[in-house]
Structure formats: C-alpha cells, structure tokens
Structure 1
C-alpha cells in the first residue's frame, strides 16, 4: 500500500515593500508570494505586523489573499512584519521577519493655479478667488490661510480655511489692484507659502442716462398758455455722471433741434402762436457719450382771447422756510398775460387752509399786523383777479418763525461706524446725525479723529455731517 505525505508550504517570498526598505509611503499595501509543493493545495495566511519585533498577529488570520492593507501608517516609523503560510492539511511555514521605514512627513503642495490668474486685468468686482492645493502624503488634511487686500503685502483675512476658494465679503472696488497669497498647512503643522499674486478690477460699467420723463406741459395738454416754460425730469443712474440735453421743438411732428448740450431741465421758447399744436422731444447725453431719447410729446396752445391772471408764484419767504423773522413781510410775483389790471386776495394765518385777511388789493405784498408768534407755522395763499372776473389761485405756502431764545445745537448721535465696531473697512467715511432745535439755524461741525484718546482736531467749521479720513491702517 502506498500513500503520500503532504509537504508544508514554501516560505513566503517577494515581499513588498522589500526588506529593509526606507522612505516607504504611509499608505503602502503589503504583498508577498507563496506556493505549495503539493499540487492543488490551497494556502491561507496569518499576518503579523507592528512597530515591535517580533510583530503581533493582526486580524483573524486564515486569509486567502496575498496582500494586507494596514491603513495609514505613521511618518518616519519602523514597521516589522512576517507571513505564516498554511496548507489545507495543517502544515505551515513561517516566513522571515521583514522590516521597512516610512517616509517623513512632506509639507503640503505649494498653492498654484490662481483664479484669477496672476496679473489679470478687468476682473469682476464680485470675483471668487480659487487655487489648487492638496498634500503629497495620502490622508493628510490641509487648511489654508488667506492673505488679501489692496495693500502690498496683503493682510491675513482668514485662517484655518478648508476650502480652496475664498469669496471676499461684499463687492470689490472698481479700478483697483488687489494682492493675495495662500499659505497651506497640513495636520502635522508643516506649511508651504504660495507666491504673491495680483489682479486688477475693471472700470465701473457706464449706464445710459435716464429717459426724460414728466413733461410740463403734460403730453396732449390743451389750452396751454403762449408764454410757457418746458420742463422735464432727467438725471443718470451712475453717481457722478453729468448729463446734458438736446431740445427738439416746433410745429411739425419731426421737430427741429432748438437747443443742444444744455444742462438745465428747462427750455423757454419764444412766445407761441395761439391755437397751435407744438411737438417736442428731449435727448439726454452723459459725459461718456451714451444717450437716451425721450418720447415725442405734444400740446396745443390756448385760443386767442382773455386769459386768467398769472398764477401767483415766487413767494417770499420761500415755501417751507424755517427761522423767519416775527416781523416778516410777505411778497409774491403776479401779473396778467393780457396786460389786464390784477387785484389780489390774501389768505393768511396759523390754520390750514388759511383764512382770507384782505381782498381786492393791488400790491404784490402784505404786512401782517403786529408781530407774529415765535416758533409757529404760518400758512398763506394768494388769489389773483383780472378786470374781467377771471381768477388764478396760487398754492398754499408756509413758513416757520424763529425761536425766541437761541438753543445749542443737537448733540451729535447715530454715529457710523457704530461705537465699538470692529472689522471696519479701511476706506470708510465717518458720519453722524446733528441739526439744531431752533428752526432756520445753520450748524457747523469740528471733527476730532485719530488713533489716540482724546483724538486731535482734523477739521473745523464744516457743514457736512460726514468726514473722509482717507485710507486707514489695518489692525
């Protein structure tokens, strides 16, 4: 009778990493090869691995694969390992103890690929910055310090930032050079400093002037006086832009150019013909050459004949005036387009609407009897009558008399930036709320400002309630 004795597996060989290797990656996967001299025998393996020699068994053993993943290892550390091979009959062969040393920690990758590119121009004021980073060591976490601003070198604006992008708060300034750099840190406190990059923002885009609107006389008006001023509303959406106007005016539906490059929102034509339709259009131009054409407007003048008196205008004191003398005299502008004699009814008092105090006077002035009350609102209006019984009623005007005793100005309040504010922009203006309790009083301000307490006087006797200290220093 013959039988065969099973032989144990061959010794494991061809280890990876090879024995005594150095500078091994910390995410290395261990590999080996092993065969059995008995055909058809399937092998299994016990893995011994660790920082001490001899190493301890890891896992449950009896694995069929010829590889083992120990996970992320420590930097610059010696590891020991060996493999025990088993066949199906229980024979085994233990391999030698191998060792290797992992590489030392590598600093993060130097930040690259800036967006916007270094030296870029005409960049949007809402641009988000981004870059490429990372780390050559597997499994490392990298954070970033961001330096950014319009000064060179820029100041740190955020640290320990995990994203490879940064959105500056708010919008940037137009036509400004910005500088930035990124410092990368790994979780072992190793760092890499990126280069200093820069870009410049573009010019503020120009917008067309506002389309002229709100014509006087209104479009399609009739019975318009032959002595009339044409007015309209204009302007420009871009702060600081200047606007001029071309006036087209005439009796044809394609009116000719009568005035160009005027800054006023008013045009006074020569006296017009009676019972005649007139056409007009305004074209607005800004100082960048952009234009906006208004619609074609039309009105028809009054038929020849008696016209009512001119509407009383140009009140003195001016409507809404504060701080009027208690012995003020009232006056206005009147007249009649037909040259008729005009008489006036005067309404005056503290009630609104005011009561009639005199009628049928020819003068264009009125002196209230006695002195008025201090700090009191008075209302008044004028009705003009011609000698054929036509009338024109003026608007209700008002003024406020002055205080009897002068009081000090209001204590400045509502400061901006608020007291104790932080992270204030270096190009911020300071402003406040002031004023005076006495109607009509003018107030001026002395501004004290600086980095010491108390601050030094910077400007005196200014009327504005704001002050521009220039570009401030960063904290």
Structure 2
C-alpha cells in the first residue's frame, strides 16, 4: 500500500490540482493545471478491480500532460496525480476512465467486383479481413438484395461465403462486420449473374383449335423441360402470358375477329430457379372466329309479286348468332344489273337498324331488291335478289321545258321549276337532281334549281332533273352556258422597290422591282415609265417609256441617273383583256460625291517638299476627314512644318477643331470648321514630305475620306485618286 503524507502548510487557492482524462484512439491522455512552485508530479494507476495503485510516471514541474500507451481494450482504469512542493505533498486527485471500443475498418470485397457478371451457382464471395485495433474476434453479415429486397442474409466468421443465386439477375451485396461491441456497415456493390444457359431443345408451336373467344395452343414434350412459358404479343411487344407444365394452353376471353400472335419456350427449374431454357419457338398467329349474320330472308313483297301499292314497305328478317347488333344496306332499282353490281345509284338505304324500308316507287314498273346485313365486326351476309311489279293506274306523265340558260362567272342561276313544269292530272310534282352542278331547294311556296358559278366555272354544263307526280316520272336535261368573266390583274404595292422611303439611291445599276398577280392565272405584260418629270409619267409620255410588254418583275436600268434628283415611276400591267395602272412611286438619288485628289510631283532627296490636297464639288463642307497613304521606305512626313506636317490653306481662324495623326505609312487628318465652305475646285491644304530614298516612282493616295455638312450629315467623297512621286 502506498501512503501519501501531507504537511501542515497552508495551501493557496492556485495550488489546487485538477486534471482531465480522455482516450485518444491509441493512448490515454492525462492533462492538468500547472501548480506554481511545484517541484514535480507523480502519476499513479490501477485497474478497476486492483487493490493498489502503482506509480507509472514521475515528471518535472514543467510538464502538464502525460500519455499512457499501456492498457487493455474495454477495461476501466483509475488514475491519481499528486504534486510535491518543498516539504509539501498534495492530496491525490483521482479520475476514472473506461477504454471505449475501437471500431473495425469496413469490409473490402474482393469478389465479385462492382458491375461484374458471375456464374450464379456455388459462387464464392471473398473479402479482406478488416483491421481491428482492439484485436476483437470479428463476425461478418452477408446481405444480398434483389430489387432492394433482401434475398439472402447470413453470418459467418470466415473470409469467404458460398452462395447459390438465380440466373439473369442483378443483385447488390453488402458485408457488415461486428467486433462483438459495434457493427460497421460495408459499402454496397452491384453485380450481375449470367444469362440462363440455353440447354433445351426448341419447341414447335401449333394452333389446335380456334373459337370466338379462345385459341388453343399445343406442342410436343421437350426433354428435361419442367415448364413452358407462353408469350403473347401486345402492342408489338411479347409479354409473358402464363406458365404451364402441360403440353397445351387455352387462351380465353379473347375478342372476336382479332388476330393474336404467340410463341413459347421451354424452361428447366430447380428449387424455384430457372437453370435452363430453350430458344423461343416459331411465332404463330390465329384470328378468333366471328359468325356473320344469318342471310336476310326477304319477306315482303314476295319474289315476282305483282300489283304492289306504292306505299308498301320492303320487309325482311335476319339475326346474328353472336348476338351482335345488325345494320342493313338496301339496294333497289328498276335495273337488275344495278342491284347485282351494288351500284351507288341503287343504294337506297345504308346502315339502318330497322328491318323495313319504303323506297320511292312508280306505277307500272318492275323493281329488283336485295338486303345486306352487317354485324359489329364488319362481317356481312347478302340476300338473294327479289323482284316485284307495282300496280297499273291510269296517269299522265308530267312535263317540263327549260330553255338553255346563259350566265356569267361569279353569278347565281335560280330557276323556279314549277314555272317550267306541267301535270295534266294536276298532281303535285317532285323534283330530283340526277346529274350536273347545282342543287334543288324546296320550300312551302316553290321548288328552285340553284347554281352558283364561281370564277373557275366557265364552260357548258348539262343538268338532268327527274320530275315525278308520285306515279310516274320523266328525266329531263337542260343546258347551262357559263361565260368567262375576266378579272383584272393586281399590283402588289408592298413588293415595289425603290420607293420614297429609300433615300440616297445609287445612280448606276439601279434595279426597279414590283409584284403582280392575276386571279385568273393569265400571262401578264408590264409597261414601265420613269422620269424626273412627274407630268410625263402621269400622261404615259412615250419619251419616258422605259420598256413595254415586259414579262418579268424586275428591270435593270441601262442608263445612269442624275445625282440628287427625285424620280417618278409607275407600271401598267396587262392580262390581254384589261390593264391596271399602278400609283406613281418616287425615289431620290444620292448626293453627288465630292472628289479629293493630288497631283504627280518630283522631290529632291533630303529636302522638305509638299504636295497639295485638292477638293472638288464640295458643297456646304462643315468638316473633312481623310487618310493619306505613302511608302515609308521612300517618303516620310516632315512633322516640323505646319501642324505635324499639315498646313491649312483657308482661313485658319475658321478652324474649330483639327487633329493630325502620324502612322508608319499614313497620315490621318480630321478638321471641323466653325462655318461651312463651298469648295468647288480648290487646294485645301499642304502636306510636307521628305524624300528619303531615290526612286523613279512611288505611289501616294488615300485609303479613306468623307465629309460632314453643317447639319452634321455625312457626305461621300471619292478618294480613288493617286499620284506618282519621283525622288532624285
């Protein structure tokens, strides 16, 4: 036992010892407050179940921290610290610490690797042993999922695990590790299993029976097959319909008269897992049966009946074996061939559901008729053709006489047919349009034939009418002659160019353009007038006619126009029958450009010389800017003369602003005047130059130039002139 003695000295407040104790992963750290004048510190330690403390460290007064690397995992320890000061030994201060569990590292999976494809049977999962600083015994939990559902979970203490999985699947794998105190989850990886091996023979699929609502499939037995998968096509994609161990399958509850496609494959199962398959069978299809309606039985009038009243209805019977709703089409005519051939003009009723129909009949006629029944699936049955004769009654046929009708395009012909008809018996008349244009409109007061002739309708038309007094009828044909009406051509003003809004038109190579159209599609010819005298254009003066009978929409003027002149122009368009004259358009040509020029000269080498820069046709010149160019191999600017080599020849007091910029091969001059000049042909300024190398010829000129009016509007300057300089 260690006995700690203390003296009777008074202890100052700042001599009270305290310390902290923490675990730092690999060691236990003790830290304390420094005691003034302390000579040393002693540190004692014992296990929670030990009886006595043991001295583990003796440190000097400058040390306030101690690291203890000797400990057992998961144990609890007690520590005491005392300090010594002269003849004084402090009371021990005691603290306790339990060593926390140190987690093992995550499991690192060796096989399978992320995204790999493996053979699923007796597959060995392998992983590396994690690091555990406490040396604990480790246990592993293997978690395998498919579609986020756990399909396998097991615990082992080895570093490998053998598993049986299914073919053609995607799985995730995670391996967790436990040291008995804590669990560390591993990272999840994904892997695939191989496709099911094709180890079975391919079945041959057959159709053995088809009904209105079912199709029976059959096939031969395949060796080692335990089941068969039946697939049916849906929206061009085969979907699994069923599995069976039988050698046939009945697909039920199908729609009638619909084609279905099938294929199958054989499979081999072990422990609810497919371990072998065949290739898919042949594709086969069948159409479910639909029974058409029964052949309609014609009931009335009976075949070859006579004396039938005009108000008697045709009657028949039919039914559908599948219970479908039936619609009927009736063919009826006094021409048997029309009924046999099912001509449109013999079709008197279509898609009716009643089993009777009253056709339009006339006395003393023999008629032929038949009925076609159609069910909801489009299957039909046709009756035989029956005939009958209507009764014989004394009657006078109606009469009509319509003279030839002449109208023009864009007009309507309206004929009151009653005014042109007659019935000796005073019967009311019924009118039908058999052929030709137009329509018949019946009101309480009249029956009218109406035809509107549009602008494309010129020509001759025959119109056939049927006039009936309900007992007999006549067919009557009259003629309509539609006279062509010419429509004038159109001038499209929005396509005209140039017009007033376009200012500053060039005087050379001017192109006039316009748009024209003709509603009748006629070929158009244009006549063009152009002048600076509007009166001549207005009066179609021959002197200003540029071109006539012109069939294009653009024209390039051959002659050069005058500068700064307002021109007037128009076109006349002719379709051969009529003409249209445009309004008068106008445009203004651009201002005539001024001309800047220089003259040829001879320079003596190494002597100051000058050239004159001249301006011609400069009206209202408020400023000028130009770039003078030269070859610096032979010439340079004498910047000691004038303003950087430039001397203005007009009134210098009128210069508001001037700037001269010297470059390697150019001189840029900008001048603005207080009051504008009109310069018609005068020298503006001198440019002083030095000849620096002999030459028979070097070129000087301008690379740009423009002027400004007093209104601040720019005007164009022709700067194309050059001069030749000889230096000797």
Give the TM-score, by structure 2 length.
0.23
| More strand by percentage | 2
Q: Relative CO higher for 1 or 2, CA cutoff 8 Å, sep ≥ 6?
A: 1
Q: TM-score, normalised by structure 1?
A: 0.34
Higher-Rg structure is 2
